[in-house]
Amino acid sequence: MKQKRFGAADEKLRSRSLTSRALSRLWRDRLSMAAIGVLLILTAAAVAAPLITGILGVDPNTTDASASKYLPVFSEGHLLGTDNLGRDHLARLLYAGQVSLFIGFMSAFLALVIGVTLGILTGYYGGVIDDLVNWVITTLNAIPGLVLLIVISAVFRPDANSLILVIVFLTWTATTRLVRGETLAIRAREYIIGAKAIGASDFRVMQVHILPNVFSLTIVTLARNIGIVMLIEASLSFLGLGVQPPTATWGNMLSKSREFITEQAHLMILPGLLITIVVLCLYIIGDGLRDAFDPTAQY
């Protein structure tokens, strides 16, 4: 009787089955799907900001002294009113969303790429590489992150792109430690030893056997880190150390509207509400992804 032999096609099929089961569990999670829907709507609105503002005939940077401090209910051609300089508040919220979401997504993605790469390398090889990276991580973690961010931002006054680099520099360490610990556990398993015994290169072992096994961990980390980065950007902007005007972000809109809280509360409430909604959606999505990719979960 011939024994059934499993080849690359069978391995790919089993891998796809695991992913499809995870996506099926995520699809049945109504709260996570609702959060994904809200996040997609807000992201699409920010991306389509030029189209929306063109249809409404408004501009985020055009000032009009005669139309300053309009409230939403009393605005003339301004759906969400205007700020103290007469700039359309809806247009500024849409364009600010572009910058805030770009900083959040790009910073978290770059930190994830660096963290996963270094985490797998240090966990797999150990030795001098592991010691050196751990020394850098320990040194950076010994300095309060927010304090270091404030110092760097106060000295260099970063724009959106340089702020991304600063945030990435300070946020890759947590992902590296997480992936390193998982890699240390995976590399001792029998299928890794077997792959190396039949001549698989280190690169192939890391790419084919280790990276897919830390995928669920990294995707959950990415969702949560985007929310963390957006809060960091909002905190710096609220302190006046983030992206500087005239470039609008939800954080600096929140900061600049503090002095008008009694006259135009909506100028402060709306950007703060958008930050809260996006961060909450990202945390819900992160929890949903963690449950969906949990290997012990029932189908």
Q: Tens digits of per-residue pLDDT, 205-259?
A: 888 888 888 887 888 888 888 988 888 888 888 777 778 777 888 888 888 777 7
Q: Which fold has domain 23-52+77-292?
A: MetI-like fold (1.10.3720)
Determine the straight-line distance between the first and last CA of the chain, rounded to whole angstroms.
33
* Distance separating alpha carbons of residues 60 and 286, to the nearest angstrom: 33
> What b-and-e string marks burial along 137-165, b requiring 16 or more CB atoms within 10 Å of the CB?
beeeeeeeeeeebeebbeeeebebeebbe
Q: What SS3 class is residue 82?
A: strand
> Is 232 in contact with 167 (CB distance < 8 Å)?
yes
Q: Tens digits of per-residue pLDDT, 34-81?
A: 999 999 999 999 999 999 888 888 888 777 766 666 666 555 667 777
pTM of the model: 0.82
